[in-house]
Structure 1
Amino acid sequence: MPRIEPDPQPTGPPGATEVTGVQEPTQPPPGDDTAFFGQPKGLLTLSGLEVWERFSFLGMQAILVLFFAATAAQGGMGMEPGTAASLGAAYGTLVYLVSVAGGWLADRILGSYRSVLWGGVLIACGHYAMAIPVNASTWAGLGLISAGTGLLKPNVANMVGKLYRTEDQRRDAGFALYYMAINIGAFLGPLVTSWLADNKGWHWGFSAAAIGMTLGLIQYVAGRRHLAGRSAAPEFALPPQKMRSTVRAIIAGAVVVAVLAVLLVWAGWLTMGRFVDLLTLISVIAPVIYFTVMFLSSRVDADEKRRLRGYVVLFLASVAFNFILFQAYSTMMLLASTNAQTQILGFTFPVGWYASALGAFEVLLAPVVAGLWLRMGSRQPHASRKIAIGVILGGLSFLLLVVPTSGHSSDTYKMAAWWIVGSYLLLGLGDVILQTSGMSATTKLAPKAFSSQTMALWFLSLALANGIQAQTVKLYGKVSDPAYFGVNGAIAVAVGLAVIAAGAWLKRAMHPVH
């Protein structure tokens, strides 16, 4: 993890970045660019990239744990269900931990445009590697995708923000369109990859993810002229001498870590289980370090520390919800593959299509929720209440699964597809409510001295959720389904209710943030 430091001020005149002696404006042109549904044309470029990135990432995730758990005769890796789910969660942990470093690299060394570009290249290479039916290629592919997503994911949203001037009233609507694009990809990806995995083979599904990311890169490069802040230089670049020494240190560190990992694997110490445990440990330590540095920093005043205390509660609520959300692609997929029907109104579909339901519900529900908040105006719930509602809905999505999995001892019993679909509906609604409110609160509650590193905290909540999940899902298949989904769902509901109970304190702590 990179050293945490207060954000420096960019050199040069306001609104400009120095690139080889030429001052390039970082602000976009005046708000007369309305080519994309009244939004800047650059939003089409970035939204298009996210459609394909989510298509590839979540399309692959929809079949990844099923691939791990499938027998060798079925073309899979033959893992126990709990082990397969644990590895899937560990992969998610790695992705979001690397995202913290990705944001720092964009700020200090690469710049947002190049970070996204090279991140996309690594992702595409990773998916192509996974298309090769060799286990070693699969692991290498997952490593490349983790590194690439870490570079791409935290910086695309930052580039969306740069399309608008601070006072541009179109900003929120633009982010809503961008969020819908993400979920269009989340809906389409599992449809394609799951069909290919079922009818052609697992690695055909991984190939579709590779092609999707390639298409995203092509349209990203083709539309680069519409992007603001596409300068080669980062906005908060390190001084040239320090940048060179830092790059050398990063390369040397990467080589040392890679050699050490190979030696530990060769010696038999670094097993897959220990690697998962190590990622979980890092996911716990990293946010503790981040919060500690911020609370102890002399650049953070008393009011900012008060708001930061409130944010700690919201951070933990995010962990509780995302612990449930990320299992949409692991334990819920495993449950659907063994205990759910794959027919609706007489139509038979691949198991992985269940994952598409989550993206579909989020596409449909996002404008409904946004419209509701606009209609309520000043009467809408406090940010902490919205986040609590999201956590409770996530818990209820698991509690719903207790009903069809209880009281059936027959191995041939299959629950109706509507139970899984209903669970995804609750989960999708909770995600729309929590994620939009949580990201907004994160930017508003962050200390000014750490403003450009704010989203690192949000990504660390996702990493921690995956880290905890990597340990918990090991119980899947070893305890009954009602017990597994019931206990985890009840814990999430309890966390949501606790946040509601702390509402009065949170309003005072977060003031003036609503």
Structure 2
Amino acid sequence: MNTTTDNFFENKVMGHPAGLFVLFFTEMWERFSYYGMRAILVIFLTGAILGDNPGWAWETPAALSLLGTYAMLVYLTPLMGGWLADNKIGYRNAVVIGALLMTLGHASMAIETPTALYIGIAFLILGNGFFKPNMTSIISKMYEGHNDKKDGAYNIFYMGVNAGAFLGILLCGWVGEKIGWSFGFGLAGIFMFFGMLQFYFAQSLFGKLGDKPNKIKNKEEALKAAEKTEVKLNKFLTIDYLLIGVFAVSALIFIINDPLSKIGNIQTFNFTIAGMTDSLFFALLAAITFIVLLVIRIPRYTKIERDRMIAFTIFCLFTIFFWAAFEQAAGSLPLYTRDFTNRILEGNSALVFKIIDLIVTIVPLGIITYVLLSLFKQTFKKIGLSNIILGFSFLIVWAIVLYKIYIEFQAHETEVPVTWFAILNSLFIIIFAPLFTKWWDSKFNPPASVKYFLGLALLGIGFAFLAFGARNVPAGAQTASLSMAWLVFAYLFHTLGELCLSPMGLSYLSKLIPARMIAFMFGVYYLAIAIGNKLAHYVGGDIEKITQEYSLSTFFLIFTIIPIAIGFISLVLHPLLKKLMHGVK
């Protein structure tokens, strides 16, 4: 046991420190705002400029280029935010700063002007960098000496992640589509603001945990760690720094130039090489440079370390392909849902949907409210103001939910919101995550290569449903009335794939990589996710072009064939990966 963290377990909620549930709700509101905004961004940008709730009528490549750059930077800025928290400002200050920046970002986006949009997205990217890495860091510190409780703590925390995603998509999506886009963006900001205040006024629960770092103490710990290890460090050489510089500059040019060229028709360099645009050239240069860096650097480690890092790098490549397909859920899938799906329900069909919507809304919200009341019982005397803010925010949620239900049941005809289908991912995670946890803890727990195969194959099967459903949509069609069932099946299999593959990255990072190199390889892993997100919307932006030249079914076949093929490569590589992992399971 760790006496410095034992006091956190004095006031327990559901067997865990009350502070964990403060983090649970803080993260829930942040995910509410993130997924709520993301759910309506592309539909708003590409929506018709005329009508009751007009959009901006952007071209699809422009809208998805902006989304892709945003999603990419969201996974890169935490590397800097984590470093600042570790070395300068402390975890708790970083969370408050991040939440404040994201609140300002959402508020700016609610203004609905191009300048406000770009400022808002910049604030969201910076705020996410401060916020994202430091919530889990606080949990890690809180549970030092209580490793037997840590898995359960992270499970509870990630339920907060999914609860926030679920409620954010549901409410911001409905408000944005049915009432007005500004209200949808604004709602995301309101709850981010409440999350910040709730966390700020609950800090007394954490004691000195997450305070500004003690530089002298950190230096002493670093020296002790260096004395204990007998491993020769792999120092960065001049060639390493040169490659990192070329990679960083090339990647930055691509990240900036891609949206500039597609949104504002601003060509930063305006050249073509071997048929490649300047954006694609710099993207390829960045990719090649980074691969060369890994090829040069990794062999300089000892044999076992080298082999395990190679195995982890291969897993990172699989990760890129997974997210490049999976993240169509934020870009091309909403467009498919809006333009090619029959979402009008009447009679018994409408009634059945209303009942299903009622159940999937009220039941999760009721469970979360029960957790809220449990937290109140344990902490109201100590952090009353934080509890009041949290309680008030839930009253607003319940008011919006009840108003939504009332409006929907009054309507004779139901038009299912485009964003409603995105809640299925969080819903399926909540349903199936416990089953997968039991599977991984059993004697039937498959090896890494099989998990990556399952994740990629299930993802591909999800897109196969969409490709099959769109098989009769002719080339060039701009609308269709396909069954909503294809979307439900797609989200189900995508989620099952996510449960197989998504948790594996950080798990194998901790198992395969020595502690002194985790920071570098953590950056590699986050870079893989960032590239996957950008690639997803770079390719997804061509949905209209591919549909015009070939067919809608062809577009989804691309995301069927490639993930399944990569999954089979994972299976074929199993003997090699097993050898490279040197006993790590």
Structure-2 residue corresponding to 1:51: 28
Structure 1 residues 31 and 229: alpha-carbon distance in aligned structure 2, compared to 1, 3 A threshold: closer
2:462 paired residue number = 397
Q: Give the structure 2 partner of residue 7 of structure 1.
A: none
Distance 1:396 1:139 in 2: 36
In 2, the alpha carbon distance for the partners of 1:385 and 1:421 equals 25
Match of 1:36 in 2: 13
Larger Rg: 2
Match of 1:315 in 2: 316
Matched to 1:369, the amino acid is: F
Moved more, 385-394 or 314-323: 385-394
Tell whether the 8 Å contact from 2:316 to 2:528 is kept in structure 1 after alignment: yes
Moved more, 227-236 or 499-508: 227-236
The alignment status of 1:77 with 2:56, answered yes or no, reads yes
Give, as a single letter, the amino acid of the residue that structure 2 aligns with 1:215.
Answer: F
1:195 counterpart (174, 182, 185): 174
Q: Distance in 1 between matches of 2:574 and 2:75?
A: 29
Deviation, structure 1 residue 188: 0.9
Instruction: Trace 1:216-231 onto structure 2 (pairs within 5 A).
Output: 216-227=195-206, 229-231=209-211
Would you tell me which structure has more helix in proportion to its own residues?
Answer: 2
Match of 1:473 among 529, 540, 544: 540
Change (3 A) 1:60 1:471: same
Q: Please say if residues 44 and 181 of structure 2, whose CA atoms lie closer than 8 Å, have aligned partners that are also in contact.
A: yes
Is this contact kept in 2: 1:307–1:511, CA < 8 A? Answer: yes
Q: How far does residue 285 in structure 1 lie from its aligned partner after superposition?
A: 6.8
Q: C-alpha distance in 2, partners of 1:504/1:465? A: 26
Aligned partners of 2:175 and 2:181 also within 8 Å: yes
CA-to-aligned-CA distance 1:371-393 (integer Å, 9 cap, x gap): 2222x2x4311133212211211
Specify the alignment match of 1:295 in structure 2.
298
Cα deviation, 1:238-273, whole Å, max 9, x if unaligned, reads 98xxxxxxxxxxxxxxxxx9xxx99x9999554999
Call closer, same or farther: CA 1:391–1:267 in 2, change over 3 Å.
Answer: closer
The one-letter amino acid of 1:204's match is F
SS at match of 1:432: helix
Partners of 2:305 and 2:582 lie apart in 1 by 10
Q: Deviations over 1:113-158 (max 9, x none)?
A: 2222211111111001001121110111011101111221122222
Alignment of structure 1 residues 20-419 onto 2, 5 Å: 28-29=5-6, 32-33=9-10, 35-74=12-51, 75-166=54-145, 168-227=147-206, 229-233=209-213, 269-270=267-268, 280=283, 284=287, 288=291, 291=294, 295=298, 300-343=301-344, 345-346=349-350, 347-374=414-441, 376=442, 378-409=443-474, 413-419=480-486
Q: CA deviation at 1:210?
A: 0.2
The amino acid across from 2:446 in the alignment is: P
* d(CA) in 2 for partners of 1:86, 1:290: 27
Residue aligned with 2:212, SS? coil
What is the distance in 2 between the residues matched to 1:282 and 1:226? 49
My pick for the range that moved more, 151-160 or 220-229, is 220-229
Match of 1:497 in 2: 568
SS at match of 1:139: helix
Q: Aligned partners of 1:282, 1:58: CA distance in 2, in Å? A: 32
Q: Distance between the aligned counterparts of 2:149 and 2:8, measured in 1?
A: 9
Q: Deviations over 1:175-204 (max 9, x none)?
A: 111111111111111111111112221111
Would the aligned equivalents of 1:93 and 1:280 in 2 still touch at CA under 8 Å? no
Matched with 1:245 is none
**TM-aligned CA deviation for residue 28 of structure 1:** 2.2
3-state SS in 2 of match to 1:77 = coil
The alpha carbon displacement at 1:495 in A equals 0.7
Looking at structure 1, the residues matched to 171 and 70 of structure 2 have their Cα atoms a distance apart, in angstroms, of 22
AA matched with 1:482: S
Please say if residues 318 and 391 of structure 1, whose CA atoms lie closer than 8 Å, have aligned partners that are also in contact.
Answer: no
Give the whole-Å Cα distance in 1 for the aligned partners of 2:470 and 2:517. Answer: 47
**Matches of 1:478 and 1:312 in 2, distance apart?**
33
- 8 Å contact 2:102–2:123 — kept in the other structure? yes
Relative to structure 1, the CA distance from residue 405 to residue 109 in structure 2 (aligned partners, 3 Å threshold; closer, same or farther) is: same
Give CA deviations for 1:44-95 in whole Å, capped at 9, x if unaligned: 1211111111110011111111111113225322112233223211211121
CA spacing shift, 1:238–1:364, aligned 2, 3 Å:
same
Q: 1:443 aligns with which of 510, 514, 518?
A: 510
Amino acid at match of 2:308: R
Provide the rounded CA distance (Å) in 2 between the counterparts of 1:318 and 1:181: 24
1:509 maps to 2:489: no
Question: Aligned letter for 2:30?
Answer: E
Seen in structure 2, the aligned counterparts of structure 1 residues 293 and 131 have a Cα distance that, compared at 3 Å, is farther
Distance in 2, Cα, partners of 1:225 & 1:325: 40
For residues 280 and 142 of structure 1, do their structure 2 counterparts lie closer, same or farther at Cα, with a shift above 3 Å needed? Answer: farther
C-alpha distance in structure 2 between counterparts of 1:236 and 1:429, whole Å: 47
Write the distance in 1 (CA, Å) between the matches of 2:569 and 2:506. Answer: 20
TM-score (norm 2): 0.73
What is the DSSP-based 3-state SS (H/G/I as helix, E as strand, rest coil) of the residue aligned with 2:545?
coil
Q: Residues 512 and 46 (structure 1 numbering): CA distance in 2 closer, same or farther, change over 3 Å?
A: farther
Identity %: 27
User: What is the Cα deviation at residue 408 of structure 1?
Assistant: 2.9
TM-score, length of structure 1 as denominator length: 0.83
1:32 CA displacement: 3.9
Q: How far apart, in 1, do the equivalents of 2:288 and 2:58 lie?
A: 29
Q: State the alpha-carbon separation in 1 of the partners of residues 5 and 181 from structure 2.
A: 44
> Do 1:100 and 1:460's aligned partners in 2 also have CA atoms closer than 8 Å?
no
**Pair 1:460-2:461 in alignment:** no
Going from structure 1 to structure 2, the CA distance change for 1:424 and 1:60 (only over 3 Å counts) comes to same
Change (3 A) 1:379 1:290: farther
**TM-superposed deviation, 1:222:** 2.6
- Structure 2 letter corresponding to 1:143: A
Structure 1 residues 31 and 113: CA distance shift in structure 2, 3 A: closer
Closer/same/farther in 2, CA of residues 427 and 510 from structure 1, 3 Å limit: same
Count of residue pairs the alignment pairs up: 466
